[in-house]
Amino acid sequence: MKALYDKIALRGAGALTDEELVAFLVDDEGVAARLLSECGSLAGVMRMPLSRLRMFEGLGLRKAERLAVATELGRRLMAADADTVGSISTSGDVARIFRPLIEGLKHEECWVLYLTNSNRIIERQRVSQGGVQGTVVDHRLIAKRALELLATQVLMVHNHPSGAAEPSEQDKALTRKIAGALALFDIRLLDHIILSSDGEFSFRQAGLL
């Protein structure tokens, strides 16, 4: 471990590999290597719940709590950064806003961004919270709020706790219904983006809008 501390002192924490970062937090290079091997990646380690981390051989409660705190610190920094996003240019902007909010959830949530013509964010709103495999969204409430805010564009976002970002038939039907309801008032559904631990899916980029 001394070489690891020397590396930080000389080159900074940014020079550490994923394995070295975990080793620093748990103070054990062997445990860090086994943990990354089992979880597949640093992201996999960070997503592992505390109840499972504490049972990992060589970790224990205190070291598991250290990893959990580091994960929460990163999530809060991402959330603070997301609050600075004032307009939407790419799907990457959407990911910056919503991954800290919904990526690690065990249930589905659907959020809506209400936008101006120039893609400036007027409001973001959670419109539904559901179970592991789905959530119920009322298209009438989305259209009503868009009219109240004088929004000309709407962007939908929801998560897939399963890890797969591909849309279900229910997702496709919901997107068509909301796009149709908004079109009645000359409001455009700009995109519907699904976020998951495996990536993201854009209805617009896939040609489904």
Per residue in 55-82, pLDDT tens? 888 888 888 888 888 877 877 776 666 5
What is the C-alpha separation between 175 and 185, in angstroms, rounded?
A: 16
pLDDT at position 134 is: 58
pLDDT in tens, 99-154: 878 877 888 999 999 999 999 999 989 998 875 555 678 899 999 999 999 999 99
> What is the spatial distance between Cα 181 and Cα 60, in angstroms, rounded to a whole number?
53
Taking 70 as the threshold, does the pLDDT of residue 164 lie above it?
A: yes
CB 58 within 8 A of CB 23: no
Closest CA to 75 of 109, 98, 52: 98
Please report, as a single letter, which amino acid is at residue 80.
A
Residues 6+ away with beta carbon under 8 Å from 140: 181
CATH dotted code for 86-202: 3.40.140.10
CA distance 53 to 96: 27
Rounded Cα gap, residues 30 and 58, in angstroms: 9
pTM over 0.75: no
* pLDDT over 70, % of the chain: 93
Show me where the domains of the chain are located.
Answer: 2-80, 86-202
